[in-house]
Structures are given as C-alpha cells and as structure tokens.
Amino acid sequence: MTSPVVRFAPSPTGKLHVGNVRTALINWLFAMGNGGKFFLRVDDTDTERSTEAFEAQIKADLKWLGLVWDDTFNQSARFEKYDAAADKLRDMGLLYACYETADELDRKRKIALSRGRPPVYDRAGLNLSDEDRAKLEAEGRKPHWRFKLSGGRIEWTDLVRGPQGIDTASVSDPVLIREDGSYLYTLPSVVDDIDAGITHVVRGEDHVTNSGAQIEIFKALGGSAPEMAHTPLLVDAEGGAFSKRLGSLNMETLEARGILPMAILSLLAKLGTSDNIEVRDNLESLAAEFDFSKIGRAPAKFDERDLLALNATLIHTKPFNAVKEQLAQIAPEAANETFWLAVRENCQTVFDAQPFADIAYGHVEPIVDDEDKAFISEALGLLPDGELTPETWKSWTTKLKEQTGRKGRGLFMPLRKALTGMEHGPDMGAILPLIGREAVERRLARG
C-alpha cells in the first residue's frame, strides 16, 4: 500500500466531542501507522454558523490530544474552486436546475410512497425549457442544483464493511447547491479530496449512502475515488442513541474535569474493536496496534465509567510535577509531592483530591458513633508524643489494640471517621502526618 493521505474535516460550528475525536483518531492512527499524512480540513462553508472561536478551540483540542496535522486549509478560501467544478458539471449536463419548493418536494415524496414507489426525485428539472425556467424565476423562485446520477450500480470494497454497492437508480439525484447559492457538503468535499490527493476517506457509517454519488462526482471531475472506510457509530452504555449526550463530552469540558488525553485516546481507539480496552502511554503504541480488520460491525458503546477507569490508571502513576498546577487550583497547600503520593491512588482525576486536601489542610466534621466515644477518648490519650510520621499510625493502632482489645474494622474505622469524616480514603499512615498533631488532637477531642 502506498502511504495513505487522510483528512479530518470538522465544521467550526460547535465544540469537538468524543464522536468527532474518534473519527479524527482513526484517521490519524491509520496514517501514522503506515507512514502517511494527516490533513485538517476546516469545513466552514456555512459562513453564518462557523466562527473563528470554534475553529481555534478545535485546533487547540487536537493539539492537546496530540493529534497534530501535516497541513490544514479552510473551505471558505476555496469557493472559486467549487464554482469552477460546478460550471464543469453544468457544461457536462450533469448539474441541473430544479425549482420545487420544500413543500412541493415533500408532497411528491408522499405521493410516491402512497403509490408504493420509492420516494426518488422524478427529475422534473431536466424537462424544463428555457421558457419554463424564465417563468419560474419571474415568479421569484431560485433554483437548487442537482447532480445527475448515472442510474448504474456503484461498487467498492470498504475497509470496514467489506464489499459494498449502491444502485444509483434507487436514490434521488443529490442536491449540491442550495437555492441561496451555498454549497452542501458533497461537492466541496470531492473537490478538496482531489486537490489534496486524499487516498482514503475514513468516516462514520452514516455516510455510506452518500458514497455512490460521491464516487460518480469524483469520476465526473476527472479524479479517482479514494478508498473508503465507514466505521460504526457510537452509542451509549445501554445501546441508545448518543447524539443528545455529546454536549457534556466535548474536549474542553473533559479537560476541565481532569480527564487526561491518553485516557480519551486509549478508549476511543479500542471501542468497537477486537482489542481489549486498556490504557496506553502514547499515540505511537496505539498506531502500531491499529488495524481496520479489528473494527467490528456492531455499534461502539461509549461508557463514561470506562473513561474514568482508564483515567484512574494513568492518575495512579502520575508524577507530582505533571499535576502540580492542578493541585494548586484545589488548594495552595495541596501542591506538594508528599500529599500527592498519599492520595493519588484514591483519585480518578486530579480534582478528586479535593476532599483529601480538605482532610489534610482544611476543616473536617468528625463522625463518632455513640458506641465509639469512649474508644476515641482513649485513643486521644494514647496518641504517641512528638511529631507525627508515617510510622505513627502503626505504632498508635498497635498500642490501641493491646489496650482495648479492638481489632480490624472495629479498631481502624472509628479512627478514620473521627479524623477524616469519611469511611474510605487514602492510607491513614500517609495522611496522618499531613493532618498534623494539632488537628488530630482537635478532631479526637471533638469526638
């Protein structure tokens, strides 16, 4: 195989979410794993909804993830190219004007369905004379423009779905240009892919039905259709539609929640594949393991619990210097290595250290059950003298065990609850010196 050239083509009309990133990642892994190139195409032909702010955020998110591109361009700078392609198709008799309104087209579809026929456009626009068109335009109508399909069968071998075919006589001629003169996705995408030398189009399976028309447009414009790979879409953990939930799963939000790039990338690279979902340390490892043959046909289930589990695996070995700034956001006192090493194994994200920072440096409301009050009072009296160290907890509880006869949960849990206000948390031997003698005595006395 020649070195692949692929592209990721987001629209700057919103933020980058996990569905977008999965498509970008698959393209990136395929290209990098085969010595190819990864292009970023900004699909900003919708000039009303596209914003520079969204474009900047998309690029920042991709860089944060490590999905750097070899080249980038904006469709909004290429309208002359699209106009020239449209003129070429008109000259070939393959792009024709249609004047039906949306209501008229809907009525035609309903009539066809009521008569047991597929709701395929009847090509009425092809039968209009110059006089007919002039009359319609005199009424104030503006044409939309459709590409005339061959009516033949288009076949290709999809890298994910295997042999595919579409009978173009069974689908409507696609609209390429709207009444207001703006382009739909199809024509600019083909023009760009030809000019950029795209060898493989990798996208979601919701685009499969577009492929037949696009292959014919490639040929009409003198280009060669790229190979194609259509991947199953994401669904939620219960198998339901995912689109409504993507808003909370954009990269900006996930970063703010403390989710690490390699947790996101590791999950999205393995979802829907035959590989186990396991965290990887770098993109190079994911690229070496990637293969289209591993991608199944079933929808890929995205579960935030899997994301948090992978993030936790990374967090548990994260060195202090890598999280220092985030810890400082929690509390200035928390930005120290001793604290981080004491609490990191109890965190799924860095920000999960917040309650432990409160325990070590802030206010805690002790929890002492009635049956434990005498024990807590005795524990205060047996607290070893001097500075509290990581060894204090063991020596203290050993003495308490000897004096009170308590052991196991009955010994440790009342102390944890009185000192931390929690039933679970970091190792008490590590957290006790961080709390400090004064706070330990105060909390035990309050109990």
Both 170 and 87 in one domain: the answer is yes
Mean pLDDT of 425-430: 96
Both 28 and 64 in one domain: the answer is yes
The residues, ordered by sequence, that sit 6+ positions from 97 with a Cβ below 8 Å of its Cβ are: 125, 128, 133, 143, 144, 145
Here the CATH number for the domain that contains residue 191 is 3.40.50.620
Q: What pLDDT does residue 167 have?
A: 94
Would you say residue 242 has pLDDT above 80? no
Both 100 and 56 in one domain: the answer is no
Q: How high is the mean pLDDT of the chain?
A: 95
pLDDT tens string 262-291? 999 999 999 999 999 999 999 999 999 999
Mean pLDDT of 60-67: 98
Q: What percent of the chain is modeled with pLDDT above 90?
A: 93
Here the CATH number for the domain that contains residue 442 is 1.10.10.350
Both 375 and 397 in one domain: the answer is yes
Global pTM reads: 0.91
How are beta strands 37-42 and 300-301 bridged, if at all?
A: unpaired
Both 390 and 439 in one domain: the answer is yes
Both 39 and 96 in one domain: the answer is no
Would you say residue 244 has pLDDT above 60? no
Residue type, 383: L
Q: What pLDDT does residue 136 have?
A: 95
Phi/psi at 33 (nearest 5 deg)? -70, -15
Both 61 and 99 in one domain: the answer is no
Please tell me the total count of domains within the chain.
5
Would you say residue 247 has pLDDT above 90? no
Tell me which residue range forms the domain holding 415. Answer: 370-446
Both 273 and 136 in one domain: the answer is no
Q: What pLDDT does residue 76 have?
A: 96
Both 66 and 141 in one domain: the answer is no
Mean pLDDT of 53-76: 97
Both 262 and 386 in one domain: the answer is no
pLDDT tens string 316-340? 999 999 999 999 999 999 999 999 9
pLDDT band at 11 (very low <50, low <70, confident <90, very high): very high
Both 266 and 122 in one domain: the answer is no
Phi/psi at 366 (nearest 5 deg)? -60, 150
Report CA-CA distances (Å) from 425 to 345, 350, 391: 9, 14, 18
